[in-house]
Structure 1
Amino acid sequence: MNQMNGARLSPDLTGANVEDAGEHNRAVVLRCVHRQAPISRAEIARQTGFTKPAIARIVDRLLDEGLIIEARRRHGLRGQPAIELEINPDAFFAIGINIDRDHLTIVAVDAVGNVRARVHHEKRYVRPAEFMQLTADAISHFQRSRLIDDAHLAGIGLAMPDWLGEIPFLGMPDDYSEWMEFDVRAAIENLTQHPVFIENETNAAALAELDYGLGAESRSFFYIAINACLGGGLVLDGNGHRGAMALSGEIGWLPIADDRDKTAPKVDLLGEMVTMFFLYKFLGEHGLHASVPQDLLTLDARGKALVSKWLKEMSAHLAVAVKHIGMIVDPDAIIIGGRLPIRMIDELLRYVHEHLSAGDNTLPSLHRASIGEDASALGAAAMPMAAALMLASADAVQRTRSPLKFMDRLNN
């Protein structure tokens, strides 16, 4: 046996008990290094329960394959200094694409999540033909500039909203409905010989947080993304959870009592209140122009006060959502991120806390996402990377999934 008796292991760090489970054991060690690097061989043995000889064999193999590197020596008080292991950043590369109603972002990342290159277009309602041209140009740029090693490209990930072009939204042109008939998977697969992975954009942002952010501390959390539209993503026990109909996390459909008009209180959908587009609309109604996140950072004192007013109003609705999520899902944490500027997310979180009962231990903790506005693009790249590195977050469904379309068919 390779595994020592009595070791207490994390569920996805537990090795197999049979000698012929080499691939599984290799994956266990690789995940351990990915999650806890820099880490020594002795620490890997303690984490996985494998014997030291087994760890030596597996680590030597991973070193030979170029998947991990000996990064540095850790000098302690006694004995030989421990050699620390890390994932080799150049082991794999991945491209992540995020298309939304207000932008297109394409990133090239290495095996530890460092962004090696980024192309960003701050543009609303990009149609399919332009999307494909901009995407092809970005990939070609990455390859020509040798910003990534195409021989080590793990794949291309796409993060985009479901029902894009189908759900009416502020300022949406009629021809944006082209997305409903466009086979985006086939189009991207025609661009590349590498695997293509597709996921909902907020689920992808949650995966980025899982593999490169707060996932190191919390393995079950609900991710709320405040973007052009509102999105939600659920991670349970270190794995993305999309549900039976791939609708898990669709927090925008949550009905919320809206009493801003005291003369005619009504019930609205959360996603028709807490979005970047509705913040821009609110400012426009008060004579201020803002159409991109950067505009929010250059507002004068009056504009900042109006943003604070809007955040306070929205915090009451988000607090209701937090309570519902806490009671129904019971995650370790709720993480709020998206393209809303960081300081505004922090302000929003302060207001949400004011609506929640102090000392209520039944509620999950609230956190600002550790990854900023490119979370969905980084999460898109994280999908092929997770498959290449055999991480627990790897999901084979992403290799065949396409964005959801034709919402009316959900009821059939």
Structure 2
Amino acid sequence: MGPFSAPDQGTTLPDVVDPAGGANQTRVRAHNERLVMSLVRRHGSLSKAEIARRSGLSAQTVSVIMRGLEGDDLLIRGEPMRGRVGQPSVPMMLNPDAVYSFGVKIGRRSADLVLMDFVGAIRLNLHQPYPYPDPDAILNFIVEGIGKIEQMLTATQRARIAGIGVATPFELWNWAAEVGAPAETMERWRTVDLAGELAARTRHPIHIQNDATSACGAELVFGVGASYPDFIYFYIGSFIGGGIVLNSALFSGRTGTAGALGPLQVPGPNGGTTPLLKVASIFVLENMLKAAGIDPRPLYYSAEEWIDFGPPLAAWIDSTASALARAIISAASIIDFGAAVIDGGFPAWVRARIVAATRSAVQELDLQGVIVPDIIEGAVGSEARAIGGASLPLLSRYLLDTSILFKETD
């Protein structure tokens, strides 16, 4: 039995530490097992021969690893592929029921809690809208929600939960006035120890990441990442954020804030400039609906069930697309991105309208000397932040960091 025995067997899973460090047998075996599972996850299913070719490991090593992972229920066999010379090839796949993880999205208008399986499918989810993010209320929602979901699971399923990944805006106390939140409530986010509070009230390991970075990571792992090794990512929530992917890995920069696209300057009123977040954010649409005498609260009931708000929505989409076009061309002037990916907390039909309008707006700009990236819809959707959060425990315990994963030999 290898070091990656399924969690319900009570095995402690070793972390892969800095690859530049010394390598002993246990660390090498752990690294190779993560590599095999990461390759299988990326490609959906792979045979032993394909894993050996892509990983550079010997066929014998791959056979030993795959037997161990299959014995631990982390890999399952697909149907044999016949029609070739020799023995039929047997593809191996991740077992969706081998591992689960909780993902949390904390937003300025709502929170989400999801239970995700080993292949990225959402099994259960809870949604909580609110007028502003109160730390105590959100902590209670997470803890009570985990309790509710775990009651729906079998003992074996509960034992296979790898951890909790939380995707949250950093410095939530900022922009209190813009979202109409009491300053004293928002100030409490300066001192709340989110990880510590959750660790004290749940039994699972806790992982914290910026919400937009989590969404970008979800797009890299579960979305367009297989097609575009370099892309800039925009996620339009209450405020817009994003991320940068270079060489099939998240790029966080010197201070960890690379891809924080909200402050990027775009044309504003009266010939000046304004931050992108003050144009291409759902809170702007919220204010436009209020000005038109329309109740904006349905924006936050369910991201997938927006109604067509008519002229205010159309005007917001046009202004958002114009700002996104400027931001995309500015970014493409610095880095030759293959794609600009647009997603957000809204239905697919709204995303499609924004992408189409952004493509049109780009063509109205002076593009001399600029190679325009493909402007495409995100593939993960409105739950990208929660899915990205739920990915954190899986990456920590079972899979390789994407910067290593995508260096496969092919």
With the length of structure 1 as denominator, give the TM-score of the two structures. Answer: 0.84
Residue 237 of structure 1: CA displacement? 2.4
Q: Could you say which residue in structure 2 is the equivalent of 1:400?
A: none
Q: What SS does the corresponding residue of 1:222 show, helix, strand or coil?
A: strand
Counterpart Cα distance in 1 of 2:332 and 2:284: 26
Measure the CA separation in 2 of the matches of 1:126 and 1:317.
Answer: 27
Over residues 175-206 of structure 1, what are the superposed CA-to-partner deviations in whole Å (9 max), with x where a residue is unaligned? Answer: 23221221111111112332211000010011
Give 1:290's aligned residue.
296
Unaligned runs of 5+ in 2: 1-22, 405-410
Map of 1:152 onto structure 2: 160
In structure 2, the residue matched to 1:369 is 378
C-alpha displacement at 1:77, in angstroms?
A: 5.0
Distance change (3 Å), C-alpha of 1:76 and 1:304? farther
Instruction: State the distance in 2 between where 1:69 and 1:331 align.
Output: 37
Paired position in structure 2 for 1:236: 246
Rounded Cα–Cα distance in structure 1 between residues aligned with 2:53 and 2:24: 19
Q: 1:46 aligns with which of 29, 46, 53?
A: 53
Deviation at 1:79, TM superposition (A): 4.1
Equivalent position SS for 1:119: strand
Q: Aligned to 2:226, which of 208, 216, 226?
A: 216
Q: What amino acid is the match of 1:251?
A: L
Matched, 1:203 2:213: yes
Match of 1:333 in 2: 339
The more displaced of 56-65 and 156-165 is: 56-65
Q: Distance in 2 between matches of 1:252 and 1:298?
A: 26
1:185 aligned partner: 195
Q: Distance in 1 between matches of 2:62 and 2:370?
A: 40
**SS of residue matched to 2:262:** helix
CA contact (8 A) 1:238 1:392 kept: no
Q: Which amino acid aligns with 1:258?
A: G
Structure 2 residue 394 is the aligned partner of structure 1 residue 385 = yes
Query: Who is 2:348 aligned against?
Result: 342
Amino acid at match of 2:227: E
Contact 1:92 1:388 in 2 (8 A): no
Distance across 1 between alignment mates of 2:142 and 2:36: 35
- Pair 236,176 (structure 1): closer, same or farther in 2 beyond 3 Å: same
SS at match of 2:197: helix
For structure 1, which segment, 178-187 or 21-30, has the greater mean C-alpha deviation from structure 2 after superposition? 21-30
Cα contact 1:387–1:394 (8 A) shared by 2? no
Aligned to 1:111: 118
SS in 1 for 2:65: helix
Report the equivalent of 1:281. Answer: 287
Distance (whole Å) between structure 2 residues aligned to residue 283 and residue 98 of structure 1? 25
Q: SS at 1:72's partner residue?
A: coil
Whole-angstrom distance in 2 between the partners of 1:235 and 1:54: 32
- Counterparts of 1:314-333 in structure 2 under 5 Å? 314-333=320-339
Query: What is the correspondence of 1:240-255 to structure 2 with a 5 Å cutoff?
Result: 240-255=250-265
CA distance in 2, matches of 1:328, 1:190: 45
Q: Which runs of 5 or more structure 1 residues have no equivalent in the other structure?
A: 1-17, 396-412
Query: Measured at CA, do residues 292 and 248 of structure 1 come closer, stay the same or move farther in structure 2, by a change above 3 Å?
Result: farther
Instruction: Name 2:173's counterpart in structure 1.
Output: 165
**Post-superposition shift, 1:265?**
2.8
Whether contact under 8 Å (2:298, 2:306) holds in the other structure is: no
8 A Cα contact 1:97 1:377, kept in partner = yes
Report if the CA contact (8 A) 1:158-1:377 is conserved: yes
Residue 28 to residue 361, structure 1, CA distance change in 2 (3 Å): farther
Instruction: Please tell me whether the aligned partners of residues 112 and 128 of structure 2 are also in contact (alpha carbons under 8 angstroms).
Output: yes
Moved more, 129-138 or 74-83: 74-83
Residue number in structure 1 paired with 2:15 = none
Identity %: 26
Q: Please give the alpha-carbon distance, in whole angstroms, between the structure 1 residues aligned to 2:279 and 2:228.
A: 28
Mapping of 1:18-167 within 5 angstroms? 20=25, 21-146=28-153, 149-167=157-175
The answer (yes or no) to whether the contact 2:104–2:386 under 8 Å persists in 1 is: yes
RMSD over equivalenced CA pairs, Å = 2.4
Alpha-carbon distance in structure 2 between the residues aligned to 1:390 and 1:356: 38
Q: Is the Cα contact below 8 Å between 1:221 and 1:334 reproduced in 2?
A: yes
Give the Cα separation in 2 of the matches to 1:266 and 1:352.
21
| Structure 1 contact 207–393 (Cα < 8 Å) conserved | no
Aligned residue identity for 1:74:
M
Count matched residues: 372
CA distance in 2, matches of 1:97, 1:272: 25
- Structure 2 distance, partners of 1:149, 1:201, is 27
Distance in 2 separating the partners of 1:363 and 1:258? 23
How high is the TM-score relative to the length of structure 2? Answer: 0.84
Contact 2:101 2:163 in 1 (8 A): yes
1:312 maps onto 2:318 in alignment? yes
* Cα distance, 1:336 vs structure 2: 0.9
